Amino acid sequence: MLPLDRPLLDEITLGAAGVAVVALLTGITANVRVRRLRRGVAALGGSGTDSVLDAVRRSSERSAAMQSDIERVRGEIDQTRREVSDALRHVAVVRYDAFGDMGGRLSFTVALLDDASDGLVLTSIHGRSEARTYAKGVKSGSSEQSLSPEEQQAIELAMRGSARR
């Protein structure tokens, strides 16, 4: 064996120690990055051992499932809108004194309309000795029978109230 001189051995030892320190720092940096990646994968809904692709695939599947749920709910909402469009849901009441000698606004007109302004108008006129009630059909906001100003006002109020909804 060849004799090695001492300064050369010291340099080789210092070089090896430097390489070991660089390798240790590289290992620590790699470990920190792997932990960050695992936390990121866990934030995507995966376990710490899943790959990023697995987590993205699961996230994509959930997104597709939510999209189909949204489409189903939209269909149900549209169907519900069609079903309630002919419901008598626009209502207005006009109270008034039909006769000058009667007070208390006991006479009234009620308009009950759907989205197409179809429905009916009920009018109750109260006098001292009797009360009379009339019903008139309404189609597109008007009636075949003549409408009193109060009946016309009730129809307009009912449809104006629906414009706010």
Contact call for residues 59 and 44 (beta carbons, < 8 A): yes
Question: pLDDT tens digits for the chain (165 residues)?
Answer: 556 678 888 888 999 999 999 999 999 999 999 888 777 777 766 665 667 777 778 888 889 999 999 999 999 999 998 888 888 889 999 999 888 776 778 899 999 999 888 999 999 998 888 889 999 999 998 899 999 999 999 999 999 875 444
Burial classification of residue 49, based on how many CB atoms lie within 10 Å of its CB (0-12 exposed, 13-18 middle, 19 or more buried): exposed
What domain range includes position 58?
49-84
> Is 134 inside a domain boundary?
yes
Name the pTM for this structure.
0.54
Q: What is the number of domains present in the chain?
A: 2
Of 111, 109, 107, 108, residue with least CA distance to 138: 111
Examine residue 68 and state whether it is found in any structural domain, yes or no. yes
Handedness of CA 73, 74, 75, 78 (dihedral sign): positive
Task: Looking at the structure, tell me whether residues 57 and 112 fall in a common domain.
Answer: no
All residues at 6 or more sequence positions from 110 whose CB lies less than 8 Å from its CB, including other chains: 91, 92, 93, 121, 122, 123, 154
- Residues 97 and 155 placed together within one structural domain of the fold: yes
